[in-house]
Amino acid sequence: MLAINLAEKRDVVAAFVKSRGVTTTVLLDANKEAEKSYQIAYTPTVFLVDRQGKLVGKAIGERQWMGEQGKALLLRLLARKP
């Protein structure tokens, strides 16, 4: 799992990551290249990509990924056979 921050300063992102206990890798997109490439109009935007790099889902807006439904979805996706 990767997170990409769009154009915020490193210290702002670091403070957010620390305050929220984020444990995933957070990449910085200072030049907005990912934003342009993936045509991101709203944040957060989440792309779910399978092991082969195929897009299997997209969510715009906040979601409770650590809630019961979010965890169940992620576990189902991880269990899928190639």
Q: Encoding tokens for residue 52?
A: 């082969």
Conformational region of residue 27, where left means phi above 0, alpha means psi within -120 to 50, and beta covers everything else: beta
Dihedral sign computed on CA atoms, order 47, 27, 68, 52: positive
pLDDT in tens, 30-69: 889 999 998 998 888 888 888 888 888 888 888 888 889 8
What does residue 60 show for φ and ψ, rounded to 5 degrees? -110, 130
pTM above 0.75, yes or no: no
Rounded distance, CA 76 to CA 73, Å?
5
Average confidence (pLDDT) over 7-23: 93
Place of tokens 């990449």: 27
DSSP tag of 7: S
